[in-house]
C-alpha cells in the first residue's frame, strides 16, 4: 500500500533524506507524494493548480530527485501555460510547468555517479520535459544538473541556467564565438540577452547591445562596450560596427532587419523566435513542421544571397559541458542575474500574472519553504 504523507510530514522526511549516509536508498519509503503546480488545461494564470498529492515518480538509472528550494519563471513557462507548444503538450496534460531549479539532491538513480545525496545543485530541464520543476521534488537527468556554487544563493542559481544555456547554445555551439570578435545582442536587458552579454565578454569578445533605457547601466557594468536604447529612432546609425554574430532575443521583423544589416559578410544571425512550435500549433505537427522547415530554408537562402550571412533559429538544449562552464563563471562572479521579485510557490498565479501583465520586467523566482 502506498503511504501518503501530509505536506509537512513530507518536508520532515525530505530533510531526513539529506542526513542519511551517501548511498542509493529507496526514497519512496520516505516520500511518496509532494506538492506541485499542475497545468490541467491551457489558459491564464487562474488555470494553475497547486496540489499536495502529486506522486513522486520512480527514478530512471540516469535521473536525480531534487528537493526544490527555488525555481524561476521563464517566458516559456507562461507561454506553455497559455498554449504554446500545444501540438506536443495537449495530449500530455496535465503537466507540471517549470524549467529552472536550484535545490538539494534527495535521491539518485542507479547509474548516477557525479552527484551525491545532500549536495546542493542547480540546473534546467530541456524545453519539452513534461514533469517540470514547479514541485517540491523534481526529477532531472544527471547531465542537466551541476553543483551550485556556494557563493550563489538558491534564488539566484535558479534564475540563471535556462537563459544561460540558451545563450550558450547560440553563441558557443552555433556561432562558435572567439576572442576579439564583435557580437551584437538584441534585447540585452532580458535574461537570455544579459547572459549572452556576460558569456561573450568572458570569451573576450567586444559586445554591443540594444535594451530598454533602464537596463543600460547594468549592461555596461557587465562589460558591454555599447548599450543603445531600443526606443531610439536611429539605432542603426548609433551602432556603427559590423558584427561577426548577432543574437536576436526579440526576433520581430524590425530587430531581424537591424541584426541582418549590421552583420559582416560571413556573419551569423541567430533568432530565438523560430517558428517550428507556433506553426505546429496552428497547423498540426504533420503540416506545421514541414512548413517551418520550408520557411527556414527560404530565409537561409535569401539572406545568403542578399547579405552573404548565415541565418539560424536557435533553441535551448541541455548541455552538460555548457552548464559546467556556466557554473565556473557564476563561481567567479562573471555571470550574474538580478532577481526582481521573490514569491512563495503558493503565489505562483500571482507570479504568472506579474509576468503576463509586465508588472515585473526582471526575473521572478518562486521559493519553496
Ligand X SMILES: NC(=O)c1ccc[n+]([C@@H]2O[C@H](COP(=O)([O-])OP(=O)(O)OC[C@H]3O[C@@H](n4cnc5c(N)ncnc54)[C@H](OP(=O)(O)O)[C@@H]3O)[C@@H](O)[C@H]2O)c1
Closer to ligand X at the Cβ: 283 or 315?
315
Tell the smallest beta-carbon distance from residue 340 to ligand X (Å): 10
Exposure string over 277-290, b if 16+ CB within 10 A, otherwise e: bbbbbeeeeeebbe
Q: How far apart are CA 160 and CA 337, in angstroms?
A: 6
Nearer to ligand X, 11 or 251 (CB): 251
- Supply 334's cell numbers: 562573471
Q: How many helices (H) and strands (E) does the chain have?
A: 12, 16
Q: What is the dihedral of CA 149, 152, 153, 154, to 10 degrees?
A: -50
CB of 247 to ligand X, least distance (A): 10
Interface contacts to ligand X, rule CB under 6 A: 74-76, 79, 127, 163, 166, 186-187, 189-193, 210-212, 215, 230, 249-250, 255, 272, 315-316, 361
Give the nearest distance from C-beta 238 to ligand X in angstroms. 13
CB of 272 to ligand X, least distance (A): 4
Report which residue's Cβ sits closest to ligand X.
212
Count of CB atoms situated within 10 Å of the CB of 239: 19
Q: What end-to-end distance do the CA atoms of the chain give, in Å?
A: 28
What is the nearest approach in angstroms of ligand X to the Cβ of residue 310?
17
Instruction: CB nearer to ligand X: give 38 or 80.
Output: 80
Q: Measured from the CB of residue 84, what is the shortest distance to ligand X in angstroms?
A: 8
Q: Which is nearer to ligand X, 303 or 315 (CB)?
A: 315
**3-state SS, residue 210:** strand
Q: Give whichever of 32 and 273 is closer to ligand X, judged by the CB atom.
A: 273
- C-beta of 105 vs 160, nearer to ligand X: 160
Q: Which of 35, 17, 130, 27 is nearest to 368 (CA)?
A: 35
Q: Which is nearer to ligand X, 33 or 74 (CB)?
A: 74
For the chain, the residue count is 369
Supply the minimum distance, in Å, between the C-beta of residue 168 and ligand X.
11
- The 8-class DSSP code of residue 135 comes to B
Contact 254, 210 (CB under 8 A): no
Least Cβ distance, residue 288 to ligand X (angstroms) = 16
User: In this structure, what DSSP letter does residue 43 have?
Assistant: S
Nearest approach, Cβ of residue 163 and ligand X (Å): 5
Residue 279 three-state SS: helix
DSSP conformational letter for 28: G
DSSP 69: E
The CA-based angle 212-187-48, given to 5 degrees, is 95
Tell me 212's DSSP state: -
Task: Measure the CA–CA gap between 267 and 108, rounded to whole angstroms.
Answer: 44
By three-state DSSP, how is residue 220 classified? helix
Instruction: Compare residues 35 and 169 and give the one whose CB is closer to ligand X.
Output: 169
Distance from C-alpha of 190 to C-alpha of 207, rounded to nearest angstrom: 15
What is the spatial distance between Cα 12 and Cα 134, in angstroms, rounded to a whole number? 19
Quick one: which H or E segment has residue 48? none
State in angstroms the smallest separation of the CB of 281 from ligand X: 14
Nearer Cβ to ligand X, position 20 or 235? 235
Residue number with CB closer to ligand X (13 or 250): 250
Amino acid at each position: 500500500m502506498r503511504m501518503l504523507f501530509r505536506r509537512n510530514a513530507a518536508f520532515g522526511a525530505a530533510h531526513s533524506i539529506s542526513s542519511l549516509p551517501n548511498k542509493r536508498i529507496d526514497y519512496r519509503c520516505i516520500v511518496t507524494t509532494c506538492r506541485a503546480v499542475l497545468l490541467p488545461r491551457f489558459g491564464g494564470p487562474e488555470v494553475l493548480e497547486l496540489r499536495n498529492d502529486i506522486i513522486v515518480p520512480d527514478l530512471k538509472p540516469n535521473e536525480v530527485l531534487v528537493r526544490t528550494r527555488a525555481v524561476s519563471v521563464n517566458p516559456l513557462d507562461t507561454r506553455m501555460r497559455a498554449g504554446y507548444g500545444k501540438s506536443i503538450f495537449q495530449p500530455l496534460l496535465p503537466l507540471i510547468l517549470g524549467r529552472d531549479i536550484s535545490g538539494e539532491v534527495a535521491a539518485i538513480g542507479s547509474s548516477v555517479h557525479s552527484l551525491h545525496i545532500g549536495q546542493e545543485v542547480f540546473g534546467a530541464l530541456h524545453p519539452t520535459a513534461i514533469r517540470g520543476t514547479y514541485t517540491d521534488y523534481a526529477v532531472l537527468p544527471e547531465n542537466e544538473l551541476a553543483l551550485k556554487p556556494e557563493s550563489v544563493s538558491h534564488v539566484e542559481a535558479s534564475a540563471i541556467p535556462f537563459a544561460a544555456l540558451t545563450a550558450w547554445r547560440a553563441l558557443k555551439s552555433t556561432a562558435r564565438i572567439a576572442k576579439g570578435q564583435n557580437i551584437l545582442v538584441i534585447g540585452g536587458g532580458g535574461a537570455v540577452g544579459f547572459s549572452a552579454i556576460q558569456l561573450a565578454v568572458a570569451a573576450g569578445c567586444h559586445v554591443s547591445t540594444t535594451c530598454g533605457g533602464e537596463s543600460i547601466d547594468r549592461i555596461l557594468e557587465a562589460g558591454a562596450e555599447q548599450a543603445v536604447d531600443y526606443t531610439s529612432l536611429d539605432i542603426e546609425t548609433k551602432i556603427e560596427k559590423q558584427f561577426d554574430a548577432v543574437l536576436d532575443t526579440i526576433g520581430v521583423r524590425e530587430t531581424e532587419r537591424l541584426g541582418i544589416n549590421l552583420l559582416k559578410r560571413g556573419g551569423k544571425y541567430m533568432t530565438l523566435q523560430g517558428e517550428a512550435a507556433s506553426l505546429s500549433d496552428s497547423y498540426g505537427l504533420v503540416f506545421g513542421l514541414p512548413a517551418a522547415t520550408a520557411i527556414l530554408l527560404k530565409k537561409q537562402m535569401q539572406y545568403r544571397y542578399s547579405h552573404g550571412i548565415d541565418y539560424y533559429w536557435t533553441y535551448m538544449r541541455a548541455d552538460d559541458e555548457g552548464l559546467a562552464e556556466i557554473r565556473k563563471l557564476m563561481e567567479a562572479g562573471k555571470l550574474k542575474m538580478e532577481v526582481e521579485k521573490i514569491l512563495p510557490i503558493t503565489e505562483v498565479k500571482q507570479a504568472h500574472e506579474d509576468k503576463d501583465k509586465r508588472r515585473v520586467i526582471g526575473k521572478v523566482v518562486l521559493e519553496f519553504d
